[in-house]
Structure 1
């Protein structure tokens, strides 16, 4: 087993366990600050919060289990693609569940809706930073500095996905349902996505500089990656709490 295979399996194991824990906390959440699937609909409706937490919790747990099972067999790029697909589907179904439950509740009672205009937060500098990181990653892929058969192009595509999400959160389509929207959550998510994008670029640069990395190098890289992921999660959860989604 070479260093790359060991790093891939460790990624799958630790990230999978992290998703399982987060999914269990989400499923069992009773409204604790910073825990659970929180968007505007769940902020306004307890019924929507409970149902969305169940859907997102189950989806996250399943994604974590499958990530652990597939990590010994799939290249890193395909693992990232699978992770994005699993979490993307989870978020989609949780969102549609929350929206449906909120609308059903609205049919039985009148609900006060905020009427003030909400100005979108400014996340231009985070979009610019992510564009630089993504550009560097694609240069490494297109110039052949990275192995073409290991799915590194899919990892670079992750950065474009994060860039698109950053642009999306700057337009508070869902977040504006909160009565006291201040834009802090959007800024927090933009920072979190930028941290993850920087971590991805760092990993690709290390692969180029050390193509035959030993397991000893894989361990600090894993720690750096996990640290970046936990820090990004901390930024996102803290900003959600400051916005009022608790």
Structure 2
């Protein structure tokens, strides 16, 4: 086992444990501020909140376990893909469960009062433009051969397009307009978080292009940068959700 593999395993262990703890907190959440899966449906329905937290908690824990188990065998780009895929599927399933439980409760009881005004979607054009630029840099490095055209590298660059699509989706009010006083704070915070992650991916590919044979110190530095970007993105997303009223 060389130094790079050991660092990758330690990184996987650290981030995996963080995800497991986050999943357990989500699963056992009883409505504490800033904890749990909170969208409009879960705000209006305790039943939807409880079921969605169970689904998302289990999904986050399984993602953390998979990250730890696979870290000795997969390179970092594929590990990042595991996290994106695991959390993406978890969010989708939790959303569908919350929507279904809310609709079932609405059929059995008098529907809660809905906002009477039309809510305009917030403008996140600046973040969309930045993400397009970062994705453009990444794909330019791949197309020009500055970085290897490895399936893992291409997959990591493609994640930027996935983050861009999520940013556009969350900027639409959809169920988020069910917040008590919709201000668009959650959409702005999420857009900023996704932009940070997209910038981190572009930076990593640029480092690969400039230093094909990176020193162990540079590898450690990039791992710390990526970890810091992930934590910052999570922090911004949670605080913006809290400011929006999802607590």
Fold shared, TM-score > 0.5 on shorter chain: yes
**C-alpha displacement of 1:3:** 5.7
**2:243 corresponding residue in structure 1:** 242
* 1:25 equivalent in alignment to 2:18: no
**C-alpha displacement of 1:6:** 4.4
- Over residues 39-83 of structure 1, what are the superposed CA-to-partner deviations in whole Å (9 max), with x where a residue is unaligned? 110011111111100110001000110111112212333223222
* 1:87 equivalent in alignment to 2:87: yes
* 1:62 equivalent in alignment to 2:62: yes
**C-alpha displacement of 1:28:** 1.1
Contact 1:10–1:222 under 8 Å retained in 2: no
**C-alpha displacement of 1:115:** 2.0
**2:96 corresponding residue in structure 1:** 96
Greater relative CO, 1 or 2 (CA 8 Å, sep 6+): 1
Gap change, CA 1:6 and 1:134, over 3 Å in 2 = farther
Contact 2:197–2:229 under 8 Å retained in 1: yes
In 2: Cα distance, 1:166 partner to 1:4 partner: 33
Root-mean-square deviation over aligned CA pairs:
1.5
**2:140 corresponding residue in structure 1:** 139
Report 1:108-187 matches (<5 A): 108-110=108-110, 111-149=112-150, 151-187=152-188
Could you tell me which runs of 5 or more consecutive residues in structure 2 were left unpaired when the two chains were aligned. Answer: none
Contact 2:138–2:202 under 8 Å retained in 1: yes
**C-alpha displacement of 1:155:** 0.4
**1:47 corresponding residue in structure 2:** 47
TM-score, normalization by structure 1: 0.94
- The count of corresponding residues between Structure 1 and Structure 2 is 246
In 1: Cα distance, 2:6 partner to 2:211 partner: 15
Gap change, CA 1:211 and 1:7, over 3 Å in 2 = farther
TM-score, normalization by structure 2: 0.94
| Deviating more after overlay: 187-196 vs 89-98 | 89-98
Contact 1:185–1:240 under 8 Å retained in 2: yes
Contact 2:3–2:216 under 8 Å retained in 1: yes
Could you tell me which runs of 5 or more consecutive residues in structure 1 were left unpaired when the two chains were aligned. Answer: none
**1:213 corresponding residue in structure 2:** 214
Gap change, CA 1:147 and 1:7, over 3 Å in 2 = farther
